[in-house]
Amino acid sequence: MSKGLSLFEKRRRRNRTALRARAGLRPRLSVHRSGRHIYAQVIDDTEGKTLASASSLVKGGGQIGATVASAAEVGKKLAEAAKAAGVTQVVFDRGGFLYHGRVKALADAAREGGLEF
């Protein structure tokens, strides 16, 4: 049994601490990536509520699963849902995941959809 935190957990804590320092009153765009799907949600930390969410689980046509194309589609859907909720500026929380591949594709699609971060 190992002592302390894993490298993933250390990276996640370091990222969240830096986000809280510079976030201000902006909501947080949180990303979770699993082996089969990708999930994203816009969270208002002051009230503790999820304002918008999207994932590759929803079978609304298009790509489903763990691909860069499905991650980009999730980013577009999330941007639409966030704009409908009245959110245009967010802080990007990649968690402990590296900004590469599916996480980067989701972020780029959300930016194209109108979110600023």
Q: Are 88 and 117 in contact (CB under 8 A)?
A: no
- pLDDT score, position 63: 65
Q: Which residue has the higher pLDDT, 1 or 72?
A: 72
Sign of CA dihedral 98, 42, 112, 68: positive
Q: Which CATH number fits domain 7-112: 3.90.550.10, 3.30.420.100, 3.40.50.720, 3.40.50.300?
A: 3.30.420.100
Measure the CA–CA gap between 2 and 8, rounded to whole angstroms. Answer: 14
**Domain spans of the chain, in order of start:** 7-112
pLDDT digits (tens, 9 = 90+) for 20-75: 888 878 999 999 999 999 999 999 988 999 999 999 987 665 667 789 999 999 99
* Mean pLDDT taken over the chain: 90
Per-residue pLDDT at 65: 78
Two tokens at 29?
């765009």
Per residue in 79-106, pLDDT tens?
999 999 999 999 999 988 999 999 999 9
Which pLDDT belongs to residue 86? 96
Q: What is the pLDDT of residue 109?
A: 97
Please report the pLDDT score of residue 61 as a whole number.
57
- The DSSP secondary structure of 17-69, one letter per residue, reads HHHHHHHTT--EEEEEE-SS-EEEEEEETTTTEEEEEEETT--SSS--SSSHH
Per-residue confidence band for 19, with pLDDT thresholds at 50, 70 and 90:
confident
Which H or E element spans position 91? Answer: strand 91-93
Q: Structure tokens of 16? A: 């969240």
CA distances, 5 to each of 14, 18, 85 (Å): 12, 18, 36
Residue 49 tokens, joined: 């509520």
Q: What is the pLDDT of residue 62?
A: 60
